[in-house]
Amino acid sequence: MSKKLILRDDEMPTSWYNVVPDIPNGLRPPLDPATLQPIAPEKLAAIFPMGLLEQEMSPERNIPIPEEVLEVYKIWRPSPLVRATKLEQALGTRAKIFYKNESVSPVGSHKPNSAVAQAFYNKREGIKRLATETGAGQWGSALAMATCMFGLKCKVYMVRVSYNQKPYRKSIMQTYGAEIVASPSAYTNYGRSVLERNPDSNGSLGIAISEALEDAVTSESTNYALGSVLNHVILHQTIVGQEAKKQMEIAGEYPDVVIGCCGGGSNYAGLAAPFVPDRLEGGKVRFVGVEPASCPTMTAGKLAYDSGDTAGMTPLLYMHTLGHDFMPPGIHAGGLRYHGMAPIVSALIRENIIEPINVHQMECFEAAVLFARTEGIIPAPETSHAIRAAIIEATRDLNEPKTILFNFSGHGLVDMAAYDSYFAGELHNYSLPREEIAESLSHLPKVE
């Protein structure tokens, strides 16, 4: 079999797959934080276009991808599915390891799959400007790219610690014409209130979301865009799993286990969702979602209603959460430092379909360097979590002929400072005191 499996443009899926109607026992609805009742779609229409809201709530399994979105996807999609033969050899395993290479997008990650769709629907409904937040910078870069391709303005609230540590991410967004500010910022009431209490605040994703939301609600012709967690974001990412499934089919392969790293859940659910129906029909495919031990949302959090942001402005989502004021340690995988998890992923964990695991920072960097030196591509720190899990699966029994598929969600070329710290011996593992989690979980909104 060949090293790589590739589809032609005309073999690319032309619809997204909506896993929601297939989830046993379904999803619980988002709640209005004011009334604790299911939120009225009109309320969400203040920040999202109808095209996306319909997707968020849709009972349809297949939703056509608009021609304009396909046209942009085709700049880099379909993406390659590659067999990690040299990694297999280095591990001495009989397992076959495949990775779906989402790092070939213009900004180096899977994020544009949703950014392009979100920009399109907002543009179609006459919106002129989007506000968003970004942590490590992957989502902000993707939305900056997507908005400029559809002629929208874009404002990105970037978590201050990343804003200071990752000047190149900022430059990438500026090249696409976006406006970037460090969050907490003086541009919003919420940002000012945080700065008043703590002028040196490093910021957090939760704070940046609050700021972007306030911007969207208070600015003219401006909507809000989120890079993960929500159903419509995962919907857009299912292009990944649908392609991968087709590619494996062509190669005569089928995964025993499907792996991905989980921050908000979109890259992993995007790869995994299209395989879920097979499992429901009695297939043996396993699903392993990987998170950092320092931010163990799925493995040590609680399945409950919680806010997506720090200020409590978002609808309450029924999800695995560490509490919306949880402050994770400053690990380099910034994209995995989020207190919540997508309701879709959370429900699949509840139904024992996804097995969540957590891994430590050091073993992930070790896996990342091994991958770079065998397969040639330097992984993003987030992606290294998926690689570590793939290695765990491949080496549990070296003689088991197993087929492993993971999402190579992004490259690390813009995150090299993380590798510098690793090689300089400056990194270590974090063991998170259980009391800290218990404390932030005690602040969950009281629902029922």
- Three-class secondary structure of residue 76 per DSSP: coil
Q: Which of 416, 412, 410 is nearest to 113 (CA)?
A: 410
Contacts of its own copies in 117-146 (CB under 8 A)? 145-146
Contacts of its own copies in 144-163 (CB under 8 A)? 145-146, 148-149
Q: Is 106 in the site for its own copies (CB under 8 A)?
A: yes
Q: Is 71 in the site for its own copies (CB under 8 A)?
A: yes
The residue (of 4 and 396) whose beta carbon lies closer to its own copies is: 4
The residue (of 26 and 167) whose beta carbon lies closer to its own copies is: 167
Q: Is 104 in the site for its own copies (CB under 8 A)?
A: yes
By rule CB under 8 A, what count of residues binds its own copies?
53
Phi/psi of residue 253, each to 5°? -120, 160
By CB neighbour count within 10 A (0-12 exposed, 13-18 middle, 19+ buried), where does 142 fall?
buried
- Three-class secondary structure of residue 223 per DSSP: strand
Q: Is 4 in the site for its own copies (CB under 8 A)?
A: yes
Q: Contact letters (x/-) for its own copies, 271-300, by CB under 8 A? A: ------------------------------
Q: How far is the CB of 267 from its own copies (least distance, A)?
A: 19
Q: Is 75 in the site for its own copies (CB under 8 A)?
A: yes
How many CA atoms, within 13 angstroms, populate the side-chain half-sphere of residue 55?
26
Please give the structure tokens belonging to residue 379.
Answer: 């992984």
Contacts of its own copies in 353-412 (CB under 8 A)? 369, 372-378, 411-412
Q: Is 5 in the site for its own copies (CB under 8 A)?
A: yes
- Three-class secondary structure of residue 401 per DSSP: coil
- In this structure, the strands spanning 286-292 and 257-261 are parallel
Q: Which of 82, 90, 2, 102 is nearest to 391 (CA)?
A: 90
Angle between helices 343-350 and 231-250 (to 10 degrees): 60
Q: Which amino acid is residue 304, in one-letter code?
A: A
- In this structure, the strands spanning 403-408 and 153-159 are unpaired
The residue within the footprint of its own copies, chosen from 283, 397, 423, 443 (CB under 8 A), is: 423
Q: How far is the CB of 11 from its own copies (least distance, A)?
A: 10
Residues that bind its own copies (CB under 8 A): 2-10, 71-72, 74-76, 78, 80, 82, 85-86, 104, 106-108, 112, 145-146, 148-149, 167-168, 171-172, 174-177, 369, 372-378, 411-414, 416-417, 419-420, 423
